[in-house]
Structure 1
Amino acid sequence: MKKYGFGVDIGGTTCKIGLFETTGDLAEKWEIPTDTSEEGKNILSDIAASLRGKMAERNIGKDEVEGIGIGLPGPVQPDGSVLLCVNLGWKEKNIPKEMGDLMDGIQVKAENDANVAALGEMWQGGGKGCKSIVMVTLGTGVGGGIIVDGKIVSGAHGAGGEIGHITVNPHESVPCNCGRKGCLEQYCSATGIARLAQEALAQDHEVSVLDKAAGISAKTVFDAYKEQDKLAGQIVEKFARILGKGLSNIACVADPEVFVIGGGVSKAGEVLIQAVNQYYREAAFPSCVHTRFALASLGNDAGMYGCVKLVLE
């Protein structure tokens, strides 16, 4: 008899849902809207209705479902509960209990969305074959997830893996979104790279293809870098130096087998990996200097994969 698991990655706009065989094969995926009205009171019941509908459609019995894993956009307590989930409108909520009750006692586990994405990449993605990885997500912000010996490092306050908010510049005057100053996210996110570019363009420089760009983004910077544009090279060098040195500090604590780089910025590809790896090696503790770098490979599905892996532990 086949066994299945559901992975549910809850975002502020949509819930990404995957039906998986316990081998790690994705059987089907779909999305439903995230109803954040009335403090998100309908979110879990909407998901439960969708899961029950899929089980009926595919004639899957309750005893064939190993469990339901749920990824959440915010800190998650060790028991899977949340104290506050701003994007969903939730305050104190015990996700495993409420969802378990809605699904007639099927096992439910919940974790932070970045952490489950890391778990998914370790299981079936860029970190496949490894047991200890650090996932770095370079998007609008900088997120992360730390897996050591196959286990998520969430920390005492659910903030394990918040690598975007390590301080890399104590002299920064502009505040980060978190309220502090000089965070990694301010330089290495998509918005951070665009900011570095705007600063570079405001200074004296040789003529650059970026001068004629319709808009400045991380993509335009890396596209220019691939064309060997000098100014883009300086911007990417600064980005890579900051991120490489930052990750060298993380390696001293987590000592991963591999850094898996994901998020929209990672679409720049191997040139990004090579640039960051260069500065990482220059700064790394000798025992960690050969830590491998890899691109994430599961894209937006990583969270669903990780959610299923949660319930198979």
Structure 2
Amino acid sequence: MKAEFIFGVDIGGTTTKLAVITDEGKIEEKWEIPTNTTNKGVSIIPDIAAAVKLKMTQMNLSNDQVIGIGVGAPGPVNMQTGILYTGVNIGWEKPVALRDELSQQTGLPVVIENDANAAALGEMWKGAGGGARDVVCVTLGTGVGGGVIVNGDIAHGIKGAAGEIGHITAVPDGGYQCNCGKTGCLETVASATGVVRLAKEEMEKSNGMSKLHSIMEEHKAITAKDVFDEAKNGDSAASAAVERLTFYLGLALANLGSALNPERIVIGGGVSRAGDILLDGIAEKFKKYAFPTVAESTEIKIATLGNDAGVIGAAWLIKYKH
């Protein structure tokens, strides 16, 4: 019997997403399990193995019918050795032999990749990348992640840290402290938290005239969605914050684009739900700052796969890199 199913796994800080996916990239079933980060994440791999084996029993699948398991993990990886160097968000402070341990516990082939890279591969294969072989993906969420695909393959770099777009320096002087230890990273001004930071700076200049002040008084906080919504309504402080955000992002992507000339730049994550007000601003700055040939030949698109990008990209890995 031909092996025709793949397990895609996307390990997150709170939950781990799993899916059974056909070798054509169609999701048959998807579900989530909690990511147990206690005791330095010692239960994470056994929990994934148990979830895979239970689903195989429920679907009456034998190992012969499963091509393998693709895993996206939050940290730098070595695909050759199958080791995740560190996964601080899930309690893995030391290198973990993720590939070999999961393979031993399931009896299935395993391929691992950084989670942002897996999401990039998913968008390339079945999402906004449209099958293009030169793609840059940027995920704007709690942080800023990224993946760089050159001629159909993820760029890894010498220590698995290529594509750390969130840590491009966007504010060289006087920038915010980043979790990575640097200051002024793109992540500090272009993540959901970063958008709010910029808005609060602009609110201070507005002499109490911004609608964001009343939202802050009522809810004790503002969100990135509030900032974009009020920018769409013409609020001056919100509009100024979005203008700064699109400047930082547009300039960073223009520099990346000038180095790589991708066919597409795909923007995903929760912040991308702002839609055209975000995309149009980025496109304008990209066109201004990118090398003219790049500005003409690179398309900027909003991601289409949402939370499924990681598991679909993980499935691509096992199909093409196993």
Q: Is the 8 A contact 2:177 2:183 kept in 1?
A: yes
- Once the two structures are TM-superposed, the CA of residue 299 in structure 1 deviates from its matched residue by 1.0
Paired position in structure 1 for 2:105: 102
In structure 2, what is the Cα distance between the partners aligned to 1:37 and 1:241?
Answer: 40
SS of 1:111's partner is strand
In structure 2, what is the Cα distance between the partners aligned to 1:159 and 1:303?
Answer: 18
In structure 2, what is the Cα distance between the partners aligned to 1:89 and 1:251?
Answer: 34
Paired position in structure 1 for 2:70: 69
- Aligned with residue 121 of structure 2, among 113, 119, 122: 119
In structure 1, what is the Cα distance between the partners aligned to 2:270 and 2:100?
Answer: 34
In structure 2, what is the Cα distance between the partners aligned to 1:174 and 1:45?
Answer: 38
Paired position in structure 2 for 1:279: 285
SS of 1:5's partner is strand
- Once the two structures are TM-superposed, the CA of residue 24 in structure 1 deviates from its matched residue by 0.7
Paired position in structure 1 for 2:239: 233
CA separation of 1:88 and 1:216: change in aligned 2, threshold 3 A: closer
Read off the aligned partner of 1:307 and give its amino acid letter: A
Paired position in structure 2 for 1:171: 173
Q: Which runs of 5+ in 2 are unaligned?
A: none
Paired position in structure 2 for 1:153: 155
Instruction: Trace 1:204-243 onto structure 2 (pairs within 5 A).
Output: 204=206, 207-214=209-216, 215-243=221-249
Give the total of aligned pairs.
312
SS of 1:93's partner is coil
CA separation of 1:206 and 1:275: change in aligned 2, threshold 3 A: farther
- Once the two structures are TM-superposed, the CA of residue 204 in structure 1 deviates from its matched residue by 4.2
Q: Which runs of 5+ in 1 are unaligned?
A: none
Read off the aligned partner of 2:272 and give its amino acid letter: S
In structure 2, what is the Cα distance between the partners aligned to 1:71 and 1:294?
Answer: 23
Read off the aligned partner of 1:308 and give its amino acid letter: A
Matched, 1:302 2:309: yes
In structure 2, what is the Cα distance between the partners aligned to 1:24 and 1:162?
Answer: 26
Paired position in structure 2 for 1:58: 59
SS of 1:289's partner is helix
- Once the two structures are TM-superposed, the CA of residue 137 in structure 1 deviates from its matched residue by 0.8
Q: Is the 8 A contact 1:206 1:231 kept in 2?
A: no
Instruction: Identify the range of structure 1 (23-32 vs 52-61) with the bigger mean alpha-carbon deviation.
Output: 52-61
Read off the aligned partner of 1:5 and give its amino acid letter: I
Read off the aligned partner of 1:228 and give its amino acid letter: G
Q: Is the 8 A contact 2:146 2:164 kept in 1?
A: yes
SS of 1:126's partner is coil
Matched, 1:138 2:143: no
CA separation of 1:128 and 1:233: change in aligned 2, threshold 3 A: same
In structure 2, what is the Cα distance between the partners aligned to 1:267 and 1:173?
Answer: 26
Question: Which structure 1 residue ranges, 4+ long, deviate > 6 Å from structure 2?
Answer: none
In structure 2, what is the Cα distance between the partners aligned to 1:153 and 1:119?
Answer: 11
SS of 2:177's partner is coil
RMSD between aligned residues = 1.5
Q: Is the 8 A contact 2:9 2:71 kept in 1?
A: yes
SS of 1:180's partner is coil
Instruction: Identify the range of structure 1 (127-136 vs 34-43) with the bigger mean alpha-carbon deviation.
Output: 34-43
Instruction: Identify the range of structure 1 (251-260 vs 274-283) with the bigger mean alpha-carbon deviation.
Output: 251-260
Question: What TM-score, normalized by structure 2, do the two folds share?
Answer: 0.93
Read off the aligned partner of 1:262 and give its amino acid letter: G
Question: What TM-score, normalized by structure 1, do the two folds share?
Answer: 0.95
Q: Is the 8 A contact 1:20 1:28 kept in 2?
A: yes
Give CA deviations for 1:127-157 in whole Å, capped at 9, x if unaligned: 1221111111111111111111111112111
Paired position in structure 1 for 2:95: 92
Q: Is the 8 A contact 1:2 1:21 kept in 2?
A: no
Instruction: Identify the range of structure 1 (270-279 vs 196-205) with the bigger mean alpha-carbon deviation.
Output: 196-205
Identity %: 46
Q: Is the 8 A contact 2:79 2:111 kept in 1?
A: no
In structure 1, what is the Cα distance between the partners aligned to 2:199 and 2:251?
Answer: 20
Paired position in structure 1 for 2:205: 203
- Once the two structures are TM-superposed, the CA of residue 42 in structure 1 deviates from its matched residue by 2.1
In structure 1, what is the Cα distance between the partners aligned to 2:176 and 2:236?
Answer: 27
Read off the aligned partner of 1:275 and give its amino acid letter: G
